[in-house]
Amino acid sequence: RAQEAIRALNAAALRWLRKRHPDRWREASPAPVSLATWVGYDLDGRTDIHWSTTVRLRLEEKALQLFRYAKALQTIEPARALAAALAGAGAEAAEQAEAFAADLTDPAAVVAAANRLTGEGRARLTSLRETRAALTRLIDETDDDTALALAGIRADMDLYGLGVARIHLRVNAAQVRSALRADLRLGGDRAFLDRTALDAAAAKTAAAQRRSVNFASVFEEQMTARRQFMLCAQILKHIDEDTPIRFLIAEVEAPATVMGAIYLARLYGVDRRLDISPLFETPDAIERGGRLIERLLEEEEYVDYVRGRGRLSIQCGFSDSGRFMGQIAADLAIERLHILISRALSAKRVTDVEVVVFNTHGESMGRGAHPGAFDERLDYLMTPWARSRFARDGLALNAEMSFQGGDGFLHFQRPALAEATAQAIFAWSQRSPQADFSDRFYQDINFSWDVYRAVKGWQENLWADENYQAALSAFSRNLLPPSGSRRARRAKPGAKDEARALRAIPHNAVLQQLAALANVMGGVGTAAEREPERFRELIEGSARMRSLVSAAGAARQLTSLSILRTYASLYDPAFWTVTAARLKNRAAALPLHRVAQRLEARALDVALGRLANLLSIDRQKFDAAAASLKGAAAPAPFSAPLYTLHAIRLALISEGFALAAATPPFSSRHEMTIDDLVDLALDLRFEEAAGVISEIFPETAAVPAAFSALDEPGPRGEDVGGYPQIQREIVAPLRALDGRIKEIAAGISHFYDAFG
């Protein structure tokens, strides 16, 4: 659907050109919006994608796109021979993909798949150059309507090449450093920060001699980063020679890492087809990213590489940075990074290249998406001020954004939605960026950065707060359904806190589920309190500041600390003892006593209460600042349906605690105690608790089949011992409420624009 939406844009552009330039429109190959994917190519934080899976996916995408080209050309009489050739090439690619679906941990299977891919064949196609030339001849020779259709297909080929989209491979900076350490003769990771490391990487790049690569090299290579560069070489040799590849490196904090990646690209002969792109997403990386690019631009080898590619590429991570420093501070810091990169390129007179800025974010509140209109979202990611800076410095800017997961795919769920999305992006890109020099945010930049530092400082203190960490740790594992295919927590055995190990998606989702969007609105009220009059004047005199405050205000409307306090009460032993005291049936009170006893050691109620107090103080300051604005309206009430969902879930959770605690006594031979069982429930692991109870108390006792040969009559099957009552009264209800709790989690997420 995204391709179809872009195809419609291209067709409109061609019709416009035909009308205004009847003599030259056939030369055009419009590309108003591009398309890329990293699904199946992103190895940052994961080990579950085998290299053969990457090759197979790339071949499947090649086959699919070739069939699309063939289908489109088949309807055009003069192009049917081309259609047949492309269909044959698609069938060939599909068969090659099948070969890579085998078990490629077996060297013999690797040989068979590799030979199938690399061997010569009449239908084998690794470049569209000849096909494109043939299309161009047809476009020149045919009537206007036929030429228009053919020109649209040619534009598709220029955009996607032999794939459904351009591809982004991604690794982590630690993986790159591991691959470089021996070659650069460096010790630990700190050594990469030294100037000598950058010098060593530049020298190795200058002296690099291309190495040959085959699939045996890929099979034998144990270092992820090296293997990914080898895969790039194999893709460019044997799958698609023409289409460049983006190579993203996450968590880059040292210029030597980027320079070293260029060395590896040159070593494997892909430096002229690979756009190596550092990803800035941690506070340190974002704040120092401008200086990192400056240092790279001092290296002749880096400038030669950038000019050779015709572009400098970076990636900025709104989702992760917002986790560390809050969304408002992150947006300000990323805008500053954009400006510093433009300034650095201008200062070094490297203005003959395109600057690709890939801003990655999620659509939900708290992951970098602005809650306003679509153009406000785009301006939030790449501000008019930053765009105008690139224009002023004479730099061509290619601004990119991501659509990730269910919430991102929603924009392409229907053809009409996809077309509206593509059109909105195109319309935004065509607006000439105008810097508003009267905007108070940029006029009073010292105070603006005081606001930034205040918000960032508040967020950093929140990160360090043990109560905040307790809330994230308690609810992240089991309140949420799995988010994506990566583990919810990063593999950081030495991490000092659970919160830092938690990935951005579950971190943000937990705050949504607790109705406490601290990572969006947190710290703004505290910043406002320092100089309230000046803060008010800043908002009233700055469209930029109003955009930021409107994002925080939207989060404020969906924050309810009474809900957070109610979850705290659920983990308060006093709630359970008081509830038990109200019961006339003392036997029914015993499970509640057991819950209270197991909660005593957790003290989660105290942590959640203290966190609510911390957030409440800042929220009160935010409300005071909002009320001081001209024409300020009273805050809208919290959503009643959202309150209802939380109330139902709280009731289900309390029922789950009581059900698990009501499990009858059982023997120690099960390697599980009743306390362990209650703890599972308190961790919201109701399905797991139900499974354990079902194993201890099966509905029917299993009778070995051999006993059917006994001559002596015995009890019938229905009389064989079991625990149907426990299954009916505890196990089944636990499983049912677990499913409802997960459904409610999905329902709550929709209020925050999070889907899927």
Edge-first strand listing for the sheet containing 311-317: 36-37, 166-172, 245-250, 274-280, 311-317, 354-360, 396-401
Nearest to 7 by CA among 427, 414, 397, 423: 423
Q: With pLDDT > 90 as the criterion, what percentage of the chain qualifies?
A: 75
Nearest to 465 by CA among 261, 342, 618, 329: 618
Mean pLDDT of the chain: 91
Partners of 171 in the β-ladder: 249
Question: What is the rounded average pLDDT of the residues 515-524?
Answer: 95
From the CB of residue 640, how many other CB atoms can be counted at a distance below 10 Å? 7
Partners of 172 in the β-ladder: 250
Name the pLDDT band for 495 (thresholds 50, 70, 90). Answer: very low
Residue 614 · residue 716 · CB < 8 Å: no
On the question of pLDDT at 735 being above 90, the answer is: yes
d(Cα 407, Cα 319) in Å, to the nearest integer? 13
**Cβ burial, residue 597 (10 Å; 0-12/13-18/19+):** middle
Question: What is the rounded average pLDDT of the residues 392-405?
Answer: 92
On the question of pLDDT at 293 being above 80, the answer is: yes
Name the pLDDT band for 186 (thresholds 50, 70, 90). Answer: confident
Question: What is the rounded average pLDDT of the residues 320-337?
Answer: 91
On the question of pLDDT at 496 being above 50, the answer is: no
Q: Which residues contact 394 (CB under 8 A, 6 or more apart)?
A: 346, 351
Name the pLDDT band for 499 (thresholds 50, 70, 90). Answer: low
d(Cα 489, Cα 508) in Å, to the nearest integer? 13
Q: What angle do CA 544, 545, 551 make, to 5 degrees?
A: 100
Name the token pair of 243.
Answer: 């289409």
pLDDT for res 49: 85
Question: What is the rounded average pLDDT of the residues 69-93?
Answer: 95
Q: With pLDDT > 70 as the criterion, what percentage of the chain qualifies?
A: 94
d(Cα 646, Cα 515) in Å, to the nearest integer? 9
d(Cα 132, Cα 152) in Å, to the nearest integer? 12
Would the pTM count as exceeding 0.85? yes
Tell me how far CA of residue 309 lies from CA of 198, 301, 304, in angstroms. 21, 12, 9
Which residue bears the tokens 């139900």? 690
Q: Which residues contact 240 (CB under 8 A, 6 or more apart)?
A: 58, 62, 126, 127, 161, 162, 163
3-state DSSP assignment of residue 314? strand
Torsion region of 626: left, alpha or beta (phi above 0 gives left; psi -120 to 50 gives alpha): alpha
Question: What is the rounded average pLDDT of the residues 255-269?
Answer: 95
Name which of 130-139, 282-291, 489-498, 544-553 the model is least confident about.
489-498
Q: Strand locations in 151-273, DSSP E? A: 166-172, 245-250
d(Cα 484, Cα 406) in Å, to the nearest integer? 9
d(Cα 256, Cα 195) in Å, to the nearest integer? 8
Which one-letter DSSP state was computed for residue 708?
Answer: G
From the CB of residue 231, how many other CB atoms can be counted at a distance below 10 Å? 24
Question: What is the rounded average pLDDT of the residues 372-396?
Answer: 94
Which residue bears the tokens 């930029």? 544
d(Cα 289, Cα 70) in Å, to the nearest integer? 45
On the question of pLDDT at 487 being above 80, the answer is: no
3-state DSSP assignment of residue 86? helix
Domain-wise residue ranges, the chain: 281-430, 440-630, 639-702+718-756
Nearest to 518 by CA among 447, 622, 382: 622
On the question of pLDDT at 187 being above 90, the answer is: no
For 600-642, write each residue's pLDDT tens digit: 989 999 999 999 999 999 999 999 999 999 887 777 889 999 9
On the question of pLDDT at 189 being above 80, the answer is: no
Name the token pair of 607.
Answer: 């942590």
For 567-578, write each residue's pLDDT tens digit: 999 999 999 999
d(Cα 472, Cα 166) in Å, to the nearest integer? 36
Name the pLDDT band for 88 (thresholds 50, 70, 90). Answer: very high
On the question of pLDDT at 7 being above 90, the answer is: yes
d(Cα 603, Cα 111) in Å, to the nearest integer? 59
Segment 16-21 long-range contacts (CB within 8 Å, at least 24 positions apart): 18/144, 18/148
Alpha helices in 21-103 (DSSP H): 51-74, 80-99
Name the token pair of 630.
Answer: 């001209």
For 18-58, write each residue's pLDDT tens digit: 999 999 999 999 999 999 998 888 877 677 789 899 999 99
d(Cα 164, Cα 185) in Å, to the nearest integer? 40
Name the pLDDT band for 182 (thresholds 50, 70, 90). Answer: confident
Nearest to 322 by CA among 313, 332, 310, 312: 332
**Cβ burial, residue 507 (10 Å; 0-12/13-18/19+):** buried
For 423-436, write each residue's pLDDT tens digit: 999 999 999 888 88
Alpha helices in 602-731 (DSSP H): 604-627, 640-661, 674-682, 686-696, 724-726
Question: What is the rounded average pLDDT of the residues 581-586?
Answer: 91
Side-chain half-sphere exposure of 200, counting CA atoms within 13 A: 17
Residue 46 · residue 40 · CB < 8 Å: no
Which one-letter DSSP state was computed for residue 480?
Answer: S
Residue 63 · residue 194 · CB < 8 Å: no
pLDDT for res 485: 54
Nearest to 331 by CA among 396, 278, 377: 377
Name the token pair of 555.
Answer: 């989060």
Q: Which residues contact 207 (CB under 8 A, 6 or more apart)?
A: none
Side chain identity, residue 689: A
Q: Which residues contact 332 (CB under 8 A, 6 or more apart)?
A: 448, 452, 548
Question: What is the rounded average pLDDT of the residues 714-722?
Answer: 60
On the question of pLDDT at 121 being above 80, the answer is: no
R_g of the chain, CA atoms, integer Å: 30
Residue 256 · residue 197 · CB < 8 Å: yes
**Cβ burial, residue 23 (10 Å; 0-12/13-18/19+):** exposed
Does the CA dihedral 213-214-216-221 come out positive or negative? Answer: positive
d(Cα 729, Cα 76) in Å, to the nearest integer? 67
